[in-house]
């Protein structure tokens, strides 16, 4: 029986929409290159939902609409693993000797002598998330399961469908059966974004990104899992049928990436112990800049034939090892709880700690975020606490060891210290502290009257990514504010040599250098100026979006909340903050004083990027350029709609290389990426 014409048309349209949406999702979530605006994507998605609602028989398990989460589950069904999901041995020696020990073991097991060639290894990152097995039948995702005990996991298919970077259908020639193993994780930016949202709503926050990933995937309600933006990287195989495997582990990962699965770009094929040590050292330096947590790297013998020869011992592969980095969590005690006053007046409780070495640095204080968070965790003076530091994230108190809490007597019935309460007045200026009903953050009401806010606002204004006034640091700002010389950013441009020289420990040459830096800062960009104003909720990225959208400061100042929300990633909260800022006469007055002092930027227009030769292109900067600093080159690229990445990959369009370019230049040459020196870079920009 043939389908009616309308149904046939619908089936063709559904198939076309699925292909188109899958392509856009791959570009957005895997390649990090959005191919269409969000509003256009939403239209396609809504059309697909409408067609599937009208023709239920056309709804398939691999439809993009199945990512939004289904009905809550009564529980998770057990899933036996056809190929056990075994753990790998951990090398806790964080020094180069740990890598040498692994290489020596492998060579010994293979019976190799000193004169035999070095072994080739695949080196990867050790992600701090939740191990997952994805089962594809003829290219379609049919099941996802956790590791469990290695033999049996839990069916979490509905929740895994909400992870947008995991393809519901593989690309290209998919084998009849393919199990892909990898790690689900939450990136640091998403973790902070989610927790900030929870704090604003007065809800419980997530402890750390790893717990966030594991807790999200094991939610019985898939809709809750969908609220938390998770990511995934593939790193291996489970059961495979009907596929001639590549000869190496690196080849396997390349093949998975070609089929649309996310594979981390931070991997390498290296030779011998020296290659492992170099990889471990390089990733250790780059670790803080990664957008996700790792706790080490993983080494695997690259040859699958050698892996088979080496086999397993006590359920661990002889051919792989995890080489750790220093722990990022540690125990210490709370010596005091104080508050910090931010540049926007935000009052943040801070735990002063007995010094503890964690995450590669000595930590002496940790944020408690806000009063509600401090009370929820019940952090008190004298408590023994777990402190976490991951990358460049501010150290925070994760939890309290209640069994170690000091008490007033031997029976332990009453704690020695009371529960924490926020002070009623600002510790800096004495102004009242208030917390709006719809916010979790309390704020000092002193505004620019409060020296703490004034100092932080000026430091932010002069910062490297803002107005970039070299030399205007903490000590100098403190003297200028405490001496009543500078009250607003506009006062910076009224400074003269005599006023600066009169400050403590200020030589005439240093004063002249500062004045030269102030004069130089007058020539800036609109994005930097907007960011420098310190508008609440407006970070560097949002400032750039605002500058691109409006093209002029006057257009931004006069925009209402509705127009502001037309800017990408500007929602009601951010729009309200911007509108409130420009509604204050004293803020506009300071801006006018700054413009009168000569602060300016190149004129632009919202459509200026339309003909930009680099809009949407990805650049990597490496080495030292003859006349441009890295920040100056980055500003030039971003002003024309380009993007600057930290590492070279297949997604890189151009590498701008200067003196001592190093490994990034080598990788660009290997991948065939276009390489520019400063002269050709300037030619491209000016075109």
Q: What is the pLDDT of residue 98?
A: 92
- Residue 131 forms part of a structural domain: yes
Tokens, residue 45: 């998605």
Residues 120, 10 within the same domain: no
DSSP element (H, E) containing 499: helix 497-501
Scan for tokens 């899958």, then name that residue: 22
Contact of 654 with 676, CB cutoff 8 Å: yes
40-67: burial string, b at 16+ Cβ within 10 Å, e else: ebeebbeebbebbeebeebeeebbbbbb
Q: Who's near 412: CB < 8 A, 6+ residues apart? A: none
Q: How far is CA 638 from the centre of its chain?
A: 19
CA nearest 125: which of 302, 279, 231, 289? 279
Q: What is the pLDDT of residue 384?
A: 92
Contact of 76 with 276, CB cutoff 8 Å: no
Distances in whole angstroms, Cα of residue 299 to Cα of each of 90, 256, 390: 10, 19, 22
What does pLDDT average to in each consecutive run of 10 residues of the chain (687 residues)?
66 86 73 67 80 83 67 72 88 87 95 94 92 94 89 88 90 93 90 81 73 77 76 95 95 95 95 96 87 90 95 86 82 92 86 84 85 87 85 75 84 81 88 75 75 86 92 91 90 93 89 94 93 87 88 92 89 86 83 94 60 81 88 81 84 90 86 91 84
Distance of alpha carbon 373 from alpha carbon 419, whole angstroms: 12
Strands (E), 302-431: 312-313, 316-317, 320-324, 329-341, 346-358, 361-367, 384-388, 396-400
- Residue 463 forms part of a structural domain: yes
Residues 41, 137 within the same domain: no
CA quadruple 558, 560, 561, 566: dihedral sign: negative
Q: Who's near 309: CB < 8 A, 6+ residues apart? A: 110
The CATH number that applies at residue 482 is 1.10.150.20
Q: What is the pLDDT of residue 110?
A: 95
Residues 174, 194 within the same domain: yes
Q: Who's near 619: CB < 8 A, 6+ residues apart? A: 637, 642, 643, 644, 645, 652, 653, 654, 655, 656
- Residue 64 forms part of a structural domain: no
Distance of alpha carbon 492 from alpha carbon 455, whole angstroms: 12
The CATH number that applies at residue 15 is 1.10.287.610
DSSP element (H, E) containing 18: helix 5-25
Residues 347, 441 within the same domain: yes
Residues 491, 546 within the same domain: no
Scan for tokens 């582990």, then name that residue: 249
CA quadruple 12, 18, 21, 23: dihedral sign: negative
Contact of 188 with 391, CB cutoff 8 Å: yes
Residues 432, 459 within the same domain: no
Q: What is the 3-state secondary structure (H, E, C) of 557-591?
A: HCCCHHHHCCCCCCCHHHHHHHHHHHHCHHHHHHH
Domain boundary among 445, 472, 495: 445
Q: How far is CA 546 from the centre of its chain?
A: 21
Q: What is the pLDDT of residue 607?
A: 45
Contact of 134 with 142, CB cutoff 8 Å: no
**β-pair type (643-645, 618-622):** parallel
Q: What is the pLDDT of residue 476?
A: 93
Residues 357, 254 within the same domain: no
Residues 551, 624 within the same domain: no
Contact of 371 with 199, CB cutoff 8 Å: no
Residues 145, 273 within the same domain: yes
Length of the chain, in residues: 687
213-249: burial string, b at 16+ Cβ within 10 Å, e else: bbbbbebeebeebbebbbbbbbbbbbebeeeeeeebb
Domain boundary among 413, 445, 477: 445
Domain boundary among 416, 445, 474: 445
Q: Who's near 211: CB < 8 A, 6+ residues apart? A: none
For 400-464, give the DSSP string: E-GGG--BSSTT--SBSSPPP---SB-TTT-PBEE--TT-S-EEETTGGGSHHHHHHHHHHHHST
Complete edge-to-edge strand list for the sheet that includes strand 177-185: 140-146, 130-137, 177-185, 231-241
Contact of 174 with 185, CB cutoff 8 Å: no
Residues 191, 110 within the same domain: yes
Q: What is the pLDDT of residue 638?
A: 79
The CATH number that applies at residue 285 is 3.30.470.30
522 carries an active-site annotation: no
Q: What is the pLDDT of residue 68?
A: 54
Q: Is the pTM of this model over 0.75?
A: no
- Residue 610 forms part of a structural domain: no
Distance of alpha carbon 134 from alpha carbon 178, whole angstroms: 8
Residues 256, 262, 265, 266, Cα dihedral to 10°: -100
Contact of 644 with 617, CB cutoff 8 Å: no
541-560: burial string, b at 16+ Cβ within 10 Å, e else: ebbbbbbbbbbebeebbebe
Q: What is the pLDDT of residue 1?
A: 42
Q: Who's near 347: CB < 8 A, 6+ residues apart? A: 339, 340, 341, 370, 422, 426, 433, 441, 442, 443, 444
- Domain total of the chain: 6
Distance of alpha carbon 596 from alpha carbon 342, whole angstroms: 28
Tokens, residue 634: 């980055």
* DSSP code of residue 318: T
CA nearest 90: which of 126, 128, 131? 126
Tokens, residue 468: 């970039």
Task: Provide the angle, in degrees to the nearest 10, between the axes of the packed helices 209-217 and 188-200.
Answer: 80
Q: What is the pLDDT of residue 412?
A: 66
Per the residue annotation, which of 43, 71, 126, 494 is the catalytic one?
126
Distances in whole angstroms, Cα of residue 205 to Cα of each of 100, 157, 191, 604: 41, 25, 9, 41
Residues 513, 464 within the same domain: yes
- Residue 611 forms part of a structural domain: no
- Residue 182 forms part of a structural domain: yes
- Structural domain of 389: 328-445
Beta bridge partners of 395: none
- Residue 565 forms part of a structural domain: yes
- Residue 190 forms part of a structural domain: yes
The CATH number that applies at residue 667 is 3.40.50.10190
Residues 154, 282 within the same domain: yes
């Amino acid at each position: 029986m043939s389908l009616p014409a309308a149904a046939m048309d619908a089936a063709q349209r559904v198939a076309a929409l699925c292909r188109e949406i899958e392509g856009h999702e791959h570009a957005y979530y895997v390649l990090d290159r959005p191919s269409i605006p969000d509003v256009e994507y939403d239209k396609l998605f809504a059309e697909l939902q409408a067609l599937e609602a009208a023709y239920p028989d056309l709804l398939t398990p691999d439809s993009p609409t199945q990512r939004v989460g289904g009905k809550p589950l009564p529980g998770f069904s057990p899933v036996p693993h056809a190929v056990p999901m075994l753990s790998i041995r951990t090398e806790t020696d964080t020094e180069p000797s740990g890598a040498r020990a692994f290489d020596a073991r492998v060579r010994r097991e293979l019976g190799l002598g000193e004169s035999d060639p070095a072994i080739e290894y695949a080196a990867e990152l050790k992600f701090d998330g939740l191990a997952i097995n994805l089962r594809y039948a003829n290219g379609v995702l049919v099941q996802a399961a956790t590791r469990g005990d290695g033999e049996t996991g839990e069916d979490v298919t509905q929740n895994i469908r909400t992870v947008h970077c995991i393809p519901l259908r593989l690309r290209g020639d998919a084998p009849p059966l393919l199990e892909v193993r990898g790690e689900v994780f939450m990136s640091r930016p998403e973790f902070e974004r989610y927790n900030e949202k929870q704090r604003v709503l007065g809800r419980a926050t997530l402890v750390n990104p790893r717990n966030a990933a594991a807790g999200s995937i094991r939610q019985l309600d898939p809709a809750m899992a969908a609220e938390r933006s998770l990511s995934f990287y593939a790193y291996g195989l489970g059961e495979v049928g009907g596929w001639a495997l590549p000869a190496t582990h690196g080849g396997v990962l390349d093949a998975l990436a070609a089929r649309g699965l996310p594979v981390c770009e931070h991997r390498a094929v290296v030779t011998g112990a020296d290659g492992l040590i170099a990889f471990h050292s390089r990733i250790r330096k780059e670790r803080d800049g990664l957008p996700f947590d790792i706790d080490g790297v993983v080494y695997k013998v690259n040859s699958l034939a050698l892996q088979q020869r080496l086999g397993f011992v006590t359920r661990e592969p002889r051919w792989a090892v995890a080489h750790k980095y220093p722990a990022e969590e540690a125990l210490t005690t709370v010596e005091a709880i104080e508050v910090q006053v931010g540049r926007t007046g935000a009052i943040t409780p801070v735990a002063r700690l007995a010094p503890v070495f964690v995450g590669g640095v000595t930590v002496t204080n940790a944020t408690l975020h806000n009063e509600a968070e401090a009370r929820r965790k019940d952090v008190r003076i004298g408590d023994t606490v777990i402190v976490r530091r991951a990358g460049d994230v501010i150290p925070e108190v994760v939890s309290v060891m209640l069994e170690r809490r000091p008490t007033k007597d031997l029976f332990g019935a009453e704690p020695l210290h009371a529960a924490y309460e926020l002070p009623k007045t600002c510790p800096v200026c004495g102004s009242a502290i208030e917390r709006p009903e719809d916010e979790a953050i309390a704020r000092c009401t002193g505004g620019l009257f409060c020296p703490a806010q004034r100092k932080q606002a000026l430091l932010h204004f002069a910062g490297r990514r803002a107005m970039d006034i070299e030399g205007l640091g903490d000590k100098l700002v403190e003297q200028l504010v405490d001496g009543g010389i500078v009250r607003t950013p506009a006062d910076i441009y009224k400074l003269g040599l005599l006023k600066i020289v009169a400050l403590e420990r200020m030589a005439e040459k240093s004063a002249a250098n500062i004045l030269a830096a102030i004069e130089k800062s007058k020539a800036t960009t609109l994005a930097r100026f907007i960011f420098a104003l310190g508008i609440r909720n407006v970070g560097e990225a949002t400032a750039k979006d605002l500058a691109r959208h409006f093209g002029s400061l006057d257009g931004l100042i006069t925009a209402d909340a509705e127009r502001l929300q037309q800017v990408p990633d500007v929602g009601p909260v951010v729009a309200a903050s911007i509108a409130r800022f420009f509604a204050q006469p004293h803020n506009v007055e300071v801006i006018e004083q700054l413009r009168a002092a000569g602060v300016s930027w190149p004129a632009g227009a919202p459509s200026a990027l339309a003909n930009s030769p680099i809009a949407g292109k990805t650049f990597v900067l490496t080495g030292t350029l003859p006349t441009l600093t890295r920040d100056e080159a980055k500003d030039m690229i971003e002003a024309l709609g380009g993007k600057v990445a930290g590492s070279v990959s297949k997604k890189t369009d151009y590498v701008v290389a200067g003196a001592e370019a190093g490994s990034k230049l080598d990788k660009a040459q290997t991948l065939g990426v276009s390489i520019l020196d400063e002269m050709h870079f300037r030619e491209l920009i000016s075109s």
